[in-house]
């Protein structure tokens, strides 16, 4: 079933990303102030949405479900790990596209702005999570400490979200999810922006599904090798 889901989500996400690119480049109008640079709004915010809310949110929820005894399962640990791995990709792309957008609008590739800095910290936390998982340990020990780390790191999420409100920053405020819930984008631009969020979210789902399957196969192979090794040791011990 997972394979069928992956096969359906993959092509759908590819089509939606292509349609988003077509609308963003050739259909939507340029901005009166930013000109054609505004077309990055159909890429950068959607990637940030996936990296901040979807990937880290999924990792935190799966970690919480693993730590809760009633739902404890290594499946949630694998899902959290897959979400973080894909989240690293989207976080790095968020920083890159943000820098490309910032250069013509701010005059610099990078500045230690509150939103930028907290997002860079998110990337470091993602990488720290993956590094922690590489420390040798029994599967449930690794899962438990990874889950705790993910939940502690989740404190950074509201900091990133509210950074443009709590501090004076170069980064513009939210286009849609602002405090007044009054979108500052309309018409075909708003619909293209919405499509970009759907497209990149589906792309994330497809990538996580693939990564989860790979991790499951790897662990199954490891368990099989371990069972063979144990059987071989027992056979050696049974010999006179």
pLDDT of residue 108: 84
Please list, in sequence order, all residues whose beta carbon lies within 8 angstroms of the beta carbon of residue 18, skipping any fewer than 6 positions away.
Answer: none
Cα→Cα distances 68→64, 76, 137, Å? 6, 11, 20
Contacts of 91 (CB under 8 A, 6+ apart): 51, 55, 119, 122, 123, 126
Mean of the per-residue pLDDT values for the chain?
A: 84
Q: Directed axis angle between helix 114-133 and helix 74-106, to 10°? A: 150
Task: Compute the distance between CA of residue 47 and CA of residue 178 in angstroms, rounded to an integer.
Answer: 18
Band (pLDDT 50/70/90 cuts) for residue 226 is very low
Q: Of all residues in the chain, what percent carry a pLDDT higher than 70?
A: 80
What is the per-residue pLDDT across 148-165, written as a single tens digit (0 to 9) for each? 999 999 889 888 878 777
Pairwise pLDDT comparison (81 vs 179), residue with the higher score: 81
Can you spell out the DSSP letters for 188-237?
A: HHHHHHHHHHHHHHHHHHHHHHHHHHHHHHHHHHHHHHHHHHHHHHHHHH
pLDDT for the residue 62: 96
Name the pLDDT band for 1 (thresholds 50, 70, 90): very low
Q: What is the pLDDT of residue 235?
A: 59
Residues 109-151 pLDDT 10s: 888 888 888 899 999 999 999 999 999 889 999 999 999 999 9
Check residue 84 and give its pLDDT. 96
Of 9-23, 113-127, 183-197, 209-223, where does mean pLDDT reach its minimum? 209-223
CA distance 15 to 10: 9
Provide the whole-model pTM: 0.83
- Please, which pLDDT band fits residue 95 given cuts at 50, 70 and 90? very high
Evaluate the CA torsion angle 102, 106, 108, 114 in order and state its sign. Answer: negative
pLDDT tens column, 155-193: 898 888 787 777 766 666 555 555 554 556 668 888 999
Residue with tokens 């009054």: 182
Nearest to 204 by CA among 99, 65, 82: 82
> 25-67 pLDDT, tens per residue?
999 888 777 888 888 889 999 999 999 899 999 999 999 999 9
Q: What is the dihedral sign for C-alpha 71, 72, 76, 81?
A: positive
Point out which residues pair with 31 in neighbouring strands: 35
Alpha-carbon distance of 112 to 40, in angstroms, equals: 21
Question: Is pLDDT above 60 for 234?
Answer: no
DSSP 77: H
220 pLDDT band, cuts 50/70/90, is low
* Other CB atoms within 10 A of residue 160 CB: 21
């Amino acid at each position: 079933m997972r394979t069928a889901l992956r096969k359906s989500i993959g092509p759908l996400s590819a089509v939606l990303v292509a349609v988003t690119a077509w609308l963003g480049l050739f259909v939507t109008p340029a901005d009166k102030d930013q000109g054609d640079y505004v077309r990055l709004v159909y890429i950068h915010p959607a990637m940030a949405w996936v990296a901040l809310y979807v990937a880290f949110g999924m990792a935190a929820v799966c970690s919480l479900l693993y730590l809760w005894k009633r739902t404890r399962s290594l499946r949630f640990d694998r899902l959290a790990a897959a979400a973080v791995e894909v989240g690293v990709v989207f976080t790095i792309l968020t920083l890159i596209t943000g820098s490309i957008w910032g250069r013509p609008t701010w005059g610099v590739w990078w500045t230690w702005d509150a939103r930028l800095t907290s997002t860079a910290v998110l990337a470091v936390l993602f990488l720290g999570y993956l590094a922690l998982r590489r420390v040798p340990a029994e599967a449930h020990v690794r899962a438990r400490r990874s889950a705790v780390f993910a939940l502690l790191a989740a404190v950074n999420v509201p900091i990133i979200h509210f950074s443009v409100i709590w501090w004076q920053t170069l980064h513009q405020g939210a286009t849609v999810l602002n405090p007044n819930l009054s979108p500052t984008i309309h018409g075909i631009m708003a619909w293209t922006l919405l499509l970009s969020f759907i497209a990149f979210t589906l792309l994330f789902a497809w990538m996580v599904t693939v990564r989860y399957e790979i991790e499951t196969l790897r662990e199954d192979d490891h368990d099989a090798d371990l069972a063979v090794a144990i059987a071989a040791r027992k056979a050696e011990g049974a010999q006179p």
